[in-house]
Amino acid sequence: MFAHIWRMRGKRKKAEDYEKFGCQLTLPTLRKIDGCLGAYFLKVFEARKPEYIWVVLWRDQEALEAARSNPAWREQISKFEAGRFYRTIPIEWVCESLASFQEVATEKPKVAEKREKAE
């Protein structure tokens, strides 16, 4: 598995627009690209100015390289550049996964929560 990690420092006046762009356009586009296993769009919690990190997981390096030439990817890049969301040139890394784990957080069913409160 490969991770494409991308950090961007945004403009304050464009932060809300960029967040909508990422959630409403970029994530759905990535979901449709073959080989994309998942994506995380993160906002740096304690940053004084808007700062974002993308972590996009790919099946392998070939899938990532194929995605870069995908018309949907190219269109997203064009829209991103046209939006002028960033304050500085984004930094990106491509990383190969050596090991991983994932825990799935589960919510208590509402019925169980009501029972606990009643006790």
> Which pLDDT score, from 0 to 100, does residue 89 have?
84
pTM beyond cutoff 0.85: no
Closest alpha carbon to 25 in 76, 89, 93, 95: 76
> Which pLDDT score, from 0 to 100, does residue 109 have?
60
Question: What total of structural domains would you count in the chain?
Answer: 1
CATH of the domain at 78: 3.30.70.100
**Cα 72 to Cα 78: distance, rounded to the nearest angstrom:** 10
Range of the domain at 32: 2-118
Structural Rg of the chain based on CA atoms: 18
pLDDT in tens, the chain (119 residues): 999 999 999 999 999 999 999 999 999 999 999 999 999 999 998 888 899 999 999 999 999 999 999 999 999 889 898 888 988 888 999 999 999 888 877 766 665 555 555 55
Count CB atoms within 10 A of the CB of residue 35. 17
With a CB cutoff of 8 Å and minimum separation 6, the contacts of 5 are 53, 54, 55, 56, 92, 93, 94, 95
| Segments in 1-119 forming alpha helices (H) | 15-21, 27-32, 61-68, 71-83, 110-118
